């Protein structure tokens, strides 16, 4: 081993910082999950293992209703945001500098960092100004608007690294542009589109502030329900709901990443085989 390797060595300092960082990220979540199985109503005193809080959840109709509303909002808004966000990404990457390009890219990037309270308040005032009945659909419109920007950024990063010669070949062979998009482009950017959908879905599941502003009577989402209960005090029931939500997201994200990894691996293998046969 030469001197060069020494400069890139993974030192004890690197190891400790990564380990401490991961512990910091995971310990609170782990404790939350552990205490959801606590027998006691006191969240911080361990009194034995129990799944009774999960049983209790099944009888909490208000919470179940809120969960159902949240899932429907997230599904509809993520699907619409994925379509709009993909179109926006194509616009940003492929259409060069058209009239109003700066305004467009500003409207894509600004919501990524814009404080929730501003987005929520401004959308509410719009809905009031046009006299739109607030509730389920206004939350969906609001969620589509901010999550389409996240989808656009995710899909855009894939489109930038995309080999355009495949598209050009299809066009040269007389394939119409729309057909080229669905046959060539879309399958190639599919992993990014799926990742964008998942991101939009979790952003919608997660949102408290924008939903609180844009909702009306009758449409209460799970974060709003959790928030109002947390304000009254910490209960093992909230830990149980949180654990279920964390579990669903963890399983979803991990399986999605495993599937893409496997597909990527088999694609590389196929490409290598094709290259050898050629």
Partner 1 sequence: MAQAAANAPVIPSTAAPARRSSRARWLVVAVPYVWLAILFLVPFLIVIKISFSVTAVAQPPYTPTIDLSHGIEGLIDAFRQFTIDNYVWLTEDALYIRAYLSSLVIAVVSTGLVLLVGYPIAYGMARASKAWQPTLLMLVILPFWTSFLIRVYSWIGILKKEGLLNQFLLWVGVIHEPLTILNTNWAVYIGIVYSYLPFMVLPLYAALERLDPTLLEAAADLGCRPVSAFWRITFPLSLPGVIAGCFLVFIPVTGEFVIPDLLGGSDTLMIGKTLWTEFFKNRDWPLASAVAVILLLILVVPIVIFQNRAARSEGGMPV
Of residues 81 through 110, those in contact with partner 1 by CB under 8 A are 84-85, 87-93, 95, 98, 100, 102, 104-110
With respect to partner 1, which residue has the nearer C-beta, 68 or 95?
A: 95
| Residue in 44, 163, 274, 278 binding partner 1, rule: CB under 8 A | 44
Q: Which stretch binds partner 1 (CB under 8 A): 48-56, 57-65, 123-131, 269-277?
A: 123-131
Contacts of 243 (CB under 8 A, 6+ apart): 32, 33, 36
Closest CB 271 distance from partner 1, rounded Å? 20
- With CA atoms as reference, report the closest residue to 126 among 241, 13, 11, 213: 213
Residue entry with tokens 């046959």: 183
The rounded distance, in Å, linking the Cα atoms of 196 and 194 is 5
The rounded distance, in Å, linking the Cα atoms of 107 and 127 is 19
Site for partner 1 in 140-179 (CB under 8 A): 141-142, 144-145, 148, 150, 152-153, 156-160, 168, 171-172, 176-178
The rounded distance, in Å, linking the Cα atoms of 142 and 147 is 9
Is there binding between residue 111 and partner 1 (CB under 8 A)? yes
Structure tokens at 195: 């990742």
Contact 74, 204 (CB under 8 A): yes
| Residue in 14, 40, 51, 228 binding partner 1, rule: CB under 8 A | 14
With respect to partner 1, which residue has the nearer C-beta, 61 or 102?
A: 102
The rounded distance, in Å, linking the Cα atoms of 10 and 6 is 9
Span between the terminal Cα atoms of the chain, in Å: 39
DSSP state of 133: P
The rounded distance, in Å, linking the Cα atoms of 17 and 100 is 45
With respect to partner 1, which residue has the nearer C-beta, 258 or 273?
A: 258
Site for partner 1 in 55-74 (CB under 8 A): none
Site for partner 1 in 189-248 (CB under 8 A): 202, 205-206, 208-209, 212-213, 223, 226-227, 230-231, 234, 238-239, 242, 245-246
| Residue in 13, 58, 163, 276 binding partner 1, rule: CB under 8 A | 13
The site that binds partner 1 (CB under 8 A) totals a number of residues, namely 105
| Residue in 64, 126, 188, 194 binding partner 1, rule: CB under 8 A | 126
């Amino acid at each position: 081993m030469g001197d060069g390797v020494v400069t890139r060595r993974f030192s004890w300092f690197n190891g400790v910082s990564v380990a401490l960082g991961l512990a910091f990220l995971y310990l609170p979540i782990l404790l939350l999950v552990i205490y959801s199985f606590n027998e006691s109503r006191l969240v911080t005193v361990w009194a034995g293992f129990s799944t009774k809080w999960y049983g209790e959840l099944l009888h909490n109709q208000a919470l179940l209703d809120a969960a159902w509303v949240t899932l429907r909002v997230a599904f509809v808004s993520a699907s619409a945001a994925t379509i709009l966000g993909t179109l926006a990404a194509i616009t940003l990457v492929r259409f060069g500098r058209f009239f109003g390009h700066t305004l467009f890219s500003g409207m894509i990037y600004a919501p990524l960092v814009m404080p929730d309270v501003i987005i929520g308040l401004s959308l509410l005032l719009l809905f009031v100004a046009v006299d739109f009945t607030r509730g389920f659909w206004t939350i969906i419109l609001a969620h589509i608007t901010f999550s389409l920007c996240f989808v656009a950024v995710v899909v855009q990063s894939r489109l930038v690294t995309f080999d355009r010669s495949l598209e050009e070949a299809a066009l040269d062979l007389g394939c119409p542009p729309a057909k080229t998009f669905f046959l060539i482009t879309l399958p190639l950017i599919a992993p990014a589109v799926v990742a964008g959908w998942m991101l939009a879905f979790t952003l919608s599941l997660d949102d408290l502030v924008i939903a609180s502003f844009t909702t009306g009577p009758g449409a209460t989402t799970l974060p709003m329900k959790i928030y109002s209960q947390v304000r009254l005090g910490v209960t093992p029931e909230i830990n149980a709901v949180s654990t279920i939500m964390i579990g669903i997201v963890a399983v979803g994200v991990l399986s999605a990443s495993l599937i893409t990894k496997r597909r990527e691996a088999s694609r590389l293998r196929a490409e290598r085989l094709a290259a050898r046969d050629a």
